[in-house]
Amino acid sequence: MDKVILRPRREESLLRYHPWVFSGAIAQITGHPAEGDLVGVYAADGRFLAYGHYQIGSIAVRVLSFDEDPTRADFWDVMLSRALALRQAYGLEAASHTNCYRLVHGEGDGLPGLIIDYYNGVCVLQAHSVGMFRAKGAICAALQRVYGAALKAVYDKSSGTAPFKAGLDLVDGYLWKAGSFTDDEQEVLENGHRFLVNWTEGQKTGFFLDQRENRFRVGALARGRNVLNLFCYTGGFSVYALGNGALHVDSVDSSRKAMDMVDRNVALNGFDPAMHTSYCADAMEFLRDVPEGKYNLMIVDPPAFAKHRGALKNALRAYQRLNAAAISKVAPGGFVFTFSCSQVVDKEAFALAVFSAAAETGRSVRILDRLNQPADHPVNIYHPEGEYLKGLLLYVE
């Protein structure tokens, strides 16, 4: 295994278990590791620090282990079992009302560059690094051992996320499936609500599992309300609102495929179709035409406006504009659930954008709660960058 040797005193972040080595911290690399190879990381004085995947770019190594050698035969079994144990401990795995959750959340599960979502027996994997992409066969084999007969299929959906490298076969497809498994779609249960998840056609791995607890919160406040669900994707928040006594729900997304899925999910849960309307539209344009006071519960859950630091300023302006439009239109006594999933927009910056939006409208706005990502999207305490989903529950008079 090749060695990455750091400059003097550049080992400190690794000694605090931060899982990245930046290229600027490296003094010397022995051998010629290919991108994705396992390397050992050593301090300038020769002390061993960690094992990780080598990468070309500003993050040069993503750490897989600070002690155990990841080449040992049961490495993936151990790591995936640990991830599963957390979901079991939290009551997600084998809950009667929920059979989908994130099994592996990158750095949050000690596996930088790897996402695995579990949909009622189907695991959908996304590699965000060449190292994880190359390990997918071993990961798939370990998933089969860890889940046993409960596993129906393992689907690799890395084509949009793995860094493109010549020689990588970036075609999505099944790494394994049980003989009886034929569908590209699976019905899942989330807090007792039914959803269809399609990992081949859908966005990301097929479903936004990170909003499960916030959907529950919307459900708890939906009774008797007129609901507008903006950026609804396949209708997660809409189904919870309808299932908990909302008077009517309007769902809006610019994706036609997503809106077709919303209609199927509303039907799947047996709701009266008259209580729900789908709009395939731009959310901002839709809001412009909304009569003031029509809705007294709004959900605003846009895609990440900033994917990197350089886009931060424009993103904050976009959050402000969108939230000002929502806050200005919601009925007095209304709730607004507003979110940002941009990792580079931290919770203070987001709150400031929403504050500026509220000030623009001049209305009385109070923060009732601060919302987060759920336990199956854990944040490694040594890697606070893993915190990305944030939201506010507003009460507007």
- 237 touches ligand SAH by CB under 6 A: yes
User: Is-contact 129 165, C-beta < 8 A?
Assistant: no
| 104 forms part of the interface with ligand SAH (CB under 6 A) | no
Residue number, 173 or 303, with CB nearest to ligand SAH:
303
* Cross-strand bridge partners of residue 340: 390
Task: Report CA-CA distances (Å) from 235 to 57, 263, 391.
Answer: 38, 8, 18
Q: How far is CA 105 from CA 159, 194, 358, in A?
A: 18, 23, 34
First to last CA, the chain: 63
- Cα(79)–Cα(65) distance, integer angstroms: 10
| Angle at the Cα of 339 from the Cα atoms of 245 and 207, rounded to 5 degrees | 70
The stretch among 4-12, 158-166, 251-259, 287-295 that binds ligand SAH (CB under 6 A) is: 251-259
Sketch the per residue contact string, 256 through 295, with ligand SAH: x for CB under 6 A, - otherwise. Answer: --x-----------------------xx------------
- What are the residues whose beta carbons fall under 8 Å from the beta carbon of 261, sequence distance 6 or more? 196, 198, 202, 233, 234, 235
Q: Is 208 in the site for ligand SAH (CB under 6 A)?
A: yes
Q: Which of 248/321 has CB closer to ligand SAH? A: 321
341 carries an active-site annotation: yes
Least distance between ligand SAH and beta carbon 236 (Å): 3
Of residues 152 and 215, the one with the C-beta less far from ligand SAH:
215
Token pair 């901002």 is found at: 284
- Closer of 122 and 341 to ligand SAH (Cβ): 341
253 binds ligand SAH per the rule CB under 6 A = yes
Q: Please, what is the minimum distance in Å from the beta carbon of residue 191 to ligand SAH?
A: 13
- From the CB of 232, what's the least distance to ligand SAH, in Å? 6
164-203: contacts with ligand SAH (CB under 6 A):
203
291 DSSP 8-state letter: P
236, 334, 378, 386: residue in contact with ligand SAH (rule CB under 6 A): 236
Integer Cα distance of 63 and 138 in angstroms: 18
Q: Which stretch binds ligand SAH (CB under 6 A): 17-25, 45-53, 186-194, 253-261?
A: 253-261
Burial class of 351 by CB neighbour count within 10 A (0 to 12, 13 to 18, 19+): middle
Tell me if 147 contacts ligand SAH by CB under 6 A.
no
Choices 63-71, 81-89, 231-239, 388-396 (CB under 6 A): range interacting with ligand SAH: 231-239
* Cβ atoms < 10 Å from Cβ of 302: 19
Give the active site residues: 341
**Binding positions for ligand SAH, rule: CB under 6 A:** 203, 208, 211, 231-234, 236-237, 252-255, 258, 282-283, 301-303
